[in-house]
């Protein structure tokens, strides 16, 4: 029966306005939530357990504030919740080295994560952690079936590809056609009582360091037209002014 880990990350609500004060983003007034794709990873992990047995552990690397999303995961049905304490900002090498160590300590046959986190938008963690563990990886999957191993659907070759993924593996999840389950009352009650396992892991020095964060440059106001006939003029401008088409 597989030991299943799902990686979850706390990010600003995607509706939130992002403010910059000085040279960095100020998140102090922003509501924090589980990164949207992590919900699909969590749902996939729970379905894997339902098909094959085993246990699901939700794992996050972050400050104490991130325990809220671990409780959310617990309410949805994971068995264990683990937070790895971080002190400073980490580059991907430091973060993934810490995740590798945490996954090794916990022991797992399969790790699910989001295809990209809503803050970084990167999509680096799944394939990067898999490489560091020496495991297989499949990314941006839109469906998974559990038939002893794991078969997944990913985009590729101008269509979709159905892949067999040998375990151990790290699998990053896109939205697909999954419906993410809602926590029920029993789950919510259990989550209230659950305790978060807190670990500390030494991280290597980060060589990529943040210099500054800023708002994107404002776009100059565009041209505005009334009525459908203007579409002809716009088409012409796309060629004459924008050098497109």
Ligand X SMILES: Cc1cc2nc3c(=O)[nH]c(=O)nc-3n(C[C@H](O)[C@H](O)[C@H](O)COP(=O)(O)OP(=O)(O)OC[C@H]3O[C@@H](n4cnc5c(N)ncnc54)[C@H](O)[C@@H]3O)c2cc1C
Nearer to ligand X, 36 or 62 (CB): 36
Residue 21, φ and ψ in degrees, nearest 5: -120, 125
The alpha carbon torsion through 57, 58, 61, 65 (nearest 10 deg) reads -130
Residue among 122, 131, 231, 237 that touches ligand AMP (CB under 6 A): 122
Q: Which two tokens stand for residue 200?
A: 């500390």
Q: Which is nearer to ligand AMP, 95 or 165 (CB)?
A: 95
The count of residues in the chain is 245
117 near ligand AMP, judged by CB under 6 A: yes
For residue 75, report the phi and psi dihedrals to the nearest 5 degrees: -65, -30
Using CB under 8 A as the binding rule, whether residue 104 contacts other proteins is answered as no
Q: For ligand X, which is the closer residue by CB, 40 or 112?
A: 40
- Which residue in this structure is represented by tokens 């009582």? 193
The listed partner (other proteins, ligand AMP, ligand X, none) that binds 35, CB under 5 to 8 Å by sort, is ligand AMP
Residue holding tokens 């964060």?
213
Residue from 164, 184, 186, 198 in contact with other proteins (CB under 8 A): 164
Is 29 an interacting residue with respect to other proteins (CB under 8 A)?
A: no
Question: Does residue 70 interact with ligand AMP by CB under 6 A?
Answer: no
Token pair recorded at residue 59: 């794992």
Q: Does 120 bind other proteins (CB under 8 A)?
A: yes
Q: β-strands 19-21, 24-26: how paired?
A: antiparallel
Distances (CA, A) of 97 to 51, 57, 94, 193, 243: 30, 19, 5, 31, 47
| 166 part of the interface to other proteins, by CB under 8 A | yes
36 contributes a contact to ligand X by CB under 6 A: yes
Q: In whole angstroms, what is the distance from residue 108 CA to residue 86 CA? A: 22
The residues binding ligand X (CB under 6 A) are 14, 36
The residues binding ligand AMP (CB under 6 A) are 7-9, 35, 37-38, 41, 60-62, 95, 113-114, 116-117, 120, 122-125
């Amino acid at each position: 029966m597989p030991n299943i880990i799902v990686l979850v990350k706390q990010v600003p609500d995607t509706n939130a306005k992002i403010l910059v004060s000085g040279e960095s983003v100020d998140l102090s007034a922003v509501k924090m939530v589980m990164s949207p794709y992590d919900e699909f990873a969590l749902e996939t992990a729970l379905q894997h357990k339902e098909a094959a047995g085993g246990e699901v552990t939700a794992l996050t690397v972050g400050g104490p504030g991130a325990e809220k999303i671990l409780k959310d995961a617990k309410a949805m049905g994971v068995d264990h919740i683990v937070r790895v304490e971080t002190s400073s900002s980490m580059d991907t090498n430091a973060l993934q080295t810490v995740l590798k160590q945490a996954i090794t300590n916990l022991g797992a046959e399969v790790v699910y994560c989001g295809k990209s986190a809503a803050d970084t938008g990167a999509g680096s963690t799944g394939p990067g952690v898999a490489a560091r563990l020496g495991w297989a990886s499949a990314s941006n999957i839109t469906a998974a079936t559990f038939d002893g191993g794991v078969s997944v659907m990913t985009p590729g070759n101008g269509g979709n590809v159905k892949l067999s993924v040998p375990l151990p593996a790290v699998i990053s999840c896109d939205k697909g056609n999954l419906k993410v389950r809602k926590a029920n009352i029993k789950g919510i009650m259990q989550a209230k009582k659950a305790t978060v396992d807190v670990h500390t892991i030494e991280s290597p020095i980060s060589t990529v360091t943040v210099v500054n964060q800023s708002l994107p440059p404002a776009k100059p106001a565009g041209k505005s037209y009334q009525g459908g006939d203007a579409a002809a003029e716009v088409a012409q401008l796309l060629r004459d002014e924008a050098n497109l088409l």
